[in-house]
Structure 1
Amino acid sequence: MHYSKGAPPMLLVQKKKGKMADWGPVVIAVVLFVLLTPGLLFQLPGSGRIVGLGNMQTSVGSILVHTIFFFGLLTIFLIIVPVHIYVG
């Protein structure tokens, strides 16, 4: 950059300010995705029961129910209760 001789001293030194990244939404989405994977912790509706615990199976119904839970909880944590994790 080129500055004229009459430039104020504060313009001669330009500091690059680092922006802090907000990782809260990313962390919340990943944790909810892992915890709400059908069959990992629980499956709703389960195969043969209403709730299956740790059976590592899935069905179309359980995928739809877990998807609704995921987006509902994600909306709550990102919009209603703003979670912020700043790294930088």
Structure 2
Amino acid sequence: MMVDWGPVVVAVGLFILLSPGLLFQLPARTRVVEFGNMYTSGISILVHAVIFFCILTILTVAIGIHLRSGTD
């Protein structure tokens, strides 16, 4: 049975990198972008979720990243 791990690996990596406040926060409290502040807000979560799904879709559908495992 062949398993495609590409979308899973990409989604986990993007989830970690695009967590609001970890590397950057867009929009921030006082500026448009703040780096490493570890704070978050509702609008920031929404913006990061939209960015996450856009990049995930581009990488998995348009580019077609595949990591296959299994025997078959």
Distance 1:87 1:40 in 2: 31
After the TM superposition, list the runs of 4 or more consecutive aligned residues in structure 1 that deviate by more than 6 angstroms: none
Task: Kindly indicate whether residue 8 of structure 2 is the aligned counterpart of residue 26 of structure 1.
Answer: yes
Post-superposition shift, 1:87?
Answer: 2.0
Aligned residues: 70
Q: C-alpha root-mean-square deviation of aligned residues, in Å?
A: 0.8
TM-score relative to the length of structure 2: 0.92
Could you say which structure has the larger radius of gyration? 1
Name the structure 2 match of 1:67: 49
Structure 1 segments unaligned to the other structure (5+ residues): 1-18
Percent identity, aligned pairs only, is 57
**Equivalent residue runs for 1:1-88 within 5 Å:** 19-88=1-70
Structure 2 segments unaligned to the other structure (5+ residues): none
Higher RCO (CA < 8 A, seq sep 6+): 2
